[in-house]
Amino acid sequence: MIALITGASSGIGEVTARRVAREPGARLVLVARRRDRLEALAARLPGVETLVLAEDLTDAEAPARIEAAVRERFGRLDLLVNNAGGGWRGRFADVGTKNLRQTLELNLFAQAALTEALLPLLRESAPSAIVNVASTAGRVARPGSGGYSASKFAFIGWSDALHLEEKPHGVHVGIVNPGFVSTEGFPQKELTDSRATRWMVSEPEKVAEAIMQVGPGRKAERYAPRPYALAAAARLLLPNLTRRILGGQAGDAMATSTKVDENQASLKRS
């Protein structure tokens, strides 16, 4: 299996790369901005052929360079994991449309541009799969993260349509929705410091397993950890109650937990 993982320099992307590397015959394409981190990761995967591509996905030329490099080295692609992304905290009255635009540019358009470039190769390699790492915030919005939620809601909607379009071509498209996951860039300190909210924080290993279920396992959608699916269900079935909860103390605690993340975050930072 030849798998390309974006945001592979740390956090969910790094853990996913290590998980995929355990599969028989796995070969990896590691994509992120920090070449030193990618090369260090590749060195920790002995016996696994890796291609390291240090790219900023917001660069309009990056998708074409990535596609050319993968085609030249491997000639095929079995799994694309669109994990890179980011979030900037702020209430709309304070951060406005500038925040909304930059978040959509990174979390939707950059992922779509890479997918567009790699789609012919994925079709040629069918059966193949795309896993779009969205977020539970793409089903349930919180105060202070409207831009992030908007980008992930859009990412999920686009993913659902893409699945229906690409299924006849043998390309499966699935979605993984992490909840609060402790990573280098998202330490979730505001939640882990409190007994009342510590239980809400999970580990990237659970997300990596969900990615394997959705990609090679060809499941439609997974939450990580799975109980977060209850929040999405509550938003649909009990919208008034969900709003009251998110507008109270629990919502305030969760609203403070969104910050810029290097791995699943701002690819624009140097």
Q: Out of 148, 153, 155, 223, which one is annotated catalytic?
A: 148
User: Which residue, among 208, 201, 213, 193, has the nearest Cα to 263 in the 3D structure?
Assistant: 208
Note if 148 is an active site residue: yes
Residues belonging to the active site: 148
